[in-house]
């Protein structure tokens, strides 16, 4: 069985017509005991290996287009807004003057699209390791990747960990829109990277990082919390509901040199943001309220 057949389950094949009647994608992340998420797709738009990872974009039956990296779902057009609005608007509406922003990863363009809704933003640097992700998304996910054409945006095809190390005291906000801690993404979940990001921030800067699911990755979240609270004066963890992720939930660490994610929220600026589908100030505050087992993950890591 080749790689394509491993990642895509071919169902209901008609041997007489040599025709595939149904095509399903199985996410490689297991949820619980022997359960996996399967999504019916209509067409494979691209499926190839870059220097760093396997890249696939599918046209799904019900969820629009879907980006998959190394067999793991990154986004679908159906619910990507719930991820991108929360990774962006939470820190942007807490910082009073977010003019210079760095995005680590974010090669699909969704994070940049949301950043451009803030008139205060003057410059956006995107540090994406794999230029092929940007290339594929420009072609097949233009509803997100159109954002790269804005003159405020500059893309660097470099290692994000090295990039922050080489740009001290530069950014108001750093957003880490990364893959899971597998392969080249592992370094983005380690202590040194969080220390280097702090050095790359201005004195009142904020970092927000994608940090997995409370249900699936307790050890990852607890590990990051154990050192991040020693580096940043203010630390919080918040969640967003994204149905097409294996647990339906994704979390983010909020790491701040000065501003509080609740007390310093600007509802006035939030009311002026265009085209929102998910984010509201009430949801912003509520997203930091964790279930009991989530609180325990953070507490036991202290």
So which residues are the catalytic ones?
177
- The sign of the torsion formed by the CA atoms of 75, 81, 82, 88 equals positive
Burial class (CB in 10 A: 0-12, 13-18, 19+), 240: buried
Please list, residue by residue across 277-301, b when 16 or more beta carbons sit within 10 angstroms of its beta carbon and e when fewer do: ebbebebbeebeebeeebeebbeeb
Strands 100-105 and 123-127, how do they pair? parallel
For residue 194, count other CB atoms closer than 10 A to its CB.
22
Residue 104 near residue 163, CB atoms below 8 Å: yes
Query: How far is Cα 73 from Cα 66, in angstroms, rounded to an integer?
Result: 7
SS3 130: coil
């Amino acid at each position: 069985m080749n790689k394509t057949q491993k990642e895509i389950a071919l169902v209901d094949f008609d041997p007489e017509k040599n025709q595939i009647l149904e095509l399903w994608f199985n996410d490689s992340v297991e949820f619980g005991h022997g359960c996996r998420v399967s999504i019916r797709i209509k067409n494979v738009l691209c499926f190839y290996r870059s220097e760093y990872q396997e890249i696939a974009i599918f046209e799904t039956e019900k969820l629009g287009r879907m980006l998959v990296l190394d067999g793991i779902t990154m986004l679908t057009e159906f619910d990507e807004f719930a991820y991108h609005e929360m990774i962006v608007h939470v820190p942007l509406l807490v910082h009073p003057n977010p003019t210079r922003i760095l995005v680590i990863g974010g090669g699909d363009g969704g994070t940049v699209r949301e950043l451009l809704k803030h008139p205060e933003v003057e410059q956006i640097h995107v540090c994406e390791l794999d230029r092929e992700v940007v290339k594929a998304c420009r072609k097949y996910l233009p509803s997100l990747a159109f954002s790269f054409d804005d003159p405020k945006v500059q893309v660097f095809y470099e290692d994000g960990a090295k990039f922050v190390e080489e740009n001290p005291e530069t950014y108001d906000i750093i957003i880490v829109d990364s893959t899971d801690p597998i392969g080249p993404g592992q370094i983005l979940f380690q202590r040194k990277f969080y220390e280097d990001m702090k050095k790359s921030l201005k004195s009142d800067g904020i970092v927000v990082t994608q940090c997995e699911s409370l249900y699936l990755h307790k050890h990852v979240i607890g590990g990051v919390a154990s050192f991040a609270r020693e580096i940043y004066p203010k630390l919080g963890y918040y969640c967003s509901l994204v149905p097409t992720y294996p647990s339906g939930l994704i979390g983010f660490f909020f790491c701040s040199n000065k501003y509080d994610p609740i007390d310093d929220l600007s509802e006035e600026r939030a009311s002026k943001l265009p085209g929102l589908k998910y984010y509201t100030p009430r949801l912003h505050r509520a997203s930091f309220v964790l279930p009991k087992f989530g609180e325990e993950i953070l507490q036991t890591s202290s």
